[in-house]
Amino acid sequence: MITIPFLKKNGSSDEGSGSSLMLDLRCVQKYYTSPAGDYQALKCIDLQVDHGEFVSIIGKSGSGKSTLLNMISGIDRPTTGEVWVNGTALHAMDEDQMARWRGGNLGILFQFFQLLPALSLLQNVVLPMDLAGRYSRRERRTRAEHLLEIVGLRDHKDKLPSMVSGGQQQRAALARALANDPPLIVADEPTGNLDSKTAETVFALFNDLVAQGKTVILVTHDSSLAKRAHRTALIADGEIVNEYVARALATLTSDQLLQAAHKVEARQYAAGAMILTEGRNNDTFYIVSKGTVEVVLPRPNQSDVIAVELGPGKYFGEMEFFHDRRNRFHSCL
């Protein structure tokens, strides 16, 4: 049986607000009560996202994706655990505080657009600014027109949602999500009802936002789309599968990855430490999450040669890079 020691990334501090991160979820758990009893939708979720990252969250139906997104957006609150967004403790807010915070700090994009049908596209984009009391009345209209221009809809600004296509409605919804210039955009299956060409247009807009410094969290069931983000977080049965385990064992199913992650043993090594030599610990599989591991090729009567450097996301065990040579693995944390 192969164990999987994991070279653990340093965790975030338990003190302070986590303001160096855009998103910091600390052992978030969520229980729902039903006639059949309590159901645990999220199981001690830890997730950290830096400012300006584009992170996709992927998982099969019922895995907990939407519940996790509700924690991040403050639509729902954890049963236990902490949710910090840009230094703000969402888990400690009441409903009024949450509504005020959400209006100025978060843009939300839904699968079914949720534009108000009686308002024009322009009015839909102006509305969040009205509710938040941001900008003057003239500035709101000018800003809304500019946002619609960015998403290619300025010529349609006076049309009702029913008068434009689904892709155009989704782009209008993105303009609305950007109305108050939030630093964080969360999107729940935003391309699920779009054709591939329109979905590509929406995804390109996300990339543009990230290039401008926005943080984007994308929930999707489309693995090919998810892989185009900076990072992918796989959720299975209410748990986040360690991203390095998922990357190293990409051929496993979600359930198999979760089982493998449960067998992971976290280890840290000092710089220069010898992790593995031929014939020792040869039943162990290592995954690097931080720092660099060097594969060193010893040479008789000469200095050693660094054959390969392995960074975060790479993995190794005993293997023969060179026939009839002994190999050593050094930690360079």
pLDDT in tens for each of the 333 residues of the chain?
Answer: 334 444 443 444 444 444 578 999 999 999 998 888 888 999 999 999 999 999 999 888 888 888 999 999 988 999 999 999 999 999 999 888 888 888 889 999 887 778 999 999 999 999 999 988 888 988 999 999 999 998 889 899 999 999 999 889 988 999 999 999 999 999 988 877 777 887 888 888 889 989 989 999 998 877 777 888 888 888 888 888 866 666 666 666 767 777 777 677 778 888 878 777 766 666 677 888 778 888 777 777 777 777 778 877 777 776 544 444 445 555 554
Q: Where are the domains of the chain?
A: 4-262, 268-332
Burial of residue 182 (CB within 10 Å: 0-12, 13-18, 19+) is: buried
C-alpha dihedral (135, 141, 142, 147), degrees to nearest 10 = 100
* Alpha helices (runs of H) in 42-179, residue ranges in sequence order: 65-73, 95-105, 121-132, 137-150, 166-177
pLDDT of residue 312: 77
HSE (CB half, 13 Å, CA atoms) of 319? 9
What sign for the dihedral angle of Cα 31, 32, 33, 37? negative
Q: Tell whether the torsion through CA atoms of 158, 161, 163 and 168 is positive or negative.
A: positive
State the pTM of this model.
0.73
Q: Which of 53, 60, 62, 90 is nearest to 75 (CA)?
A: 90
Cα atoms found within 13 Å of the Cα of residue 87, Cβ hemisphere only = 4
Give me the pLDDT at residue 15, please.
44
**4-262 placed in CATH 3.40.50.300:** yes
pLDDT for position 291: 82
Give the CATH superfamily of 268-332. Answer: Jelly Rolls (2.60.120.10)
**Under 8 Å CB-to-CB from 226, ≥6 apart: which residues?**
56, 57, 58, 218, 220, 232
pLDDT at 12: 40
Q: Rounded to the nearest 5 degrees, what angle is found at the Cα of 74, between the Cα atoms of 8 and 90?
A: 65
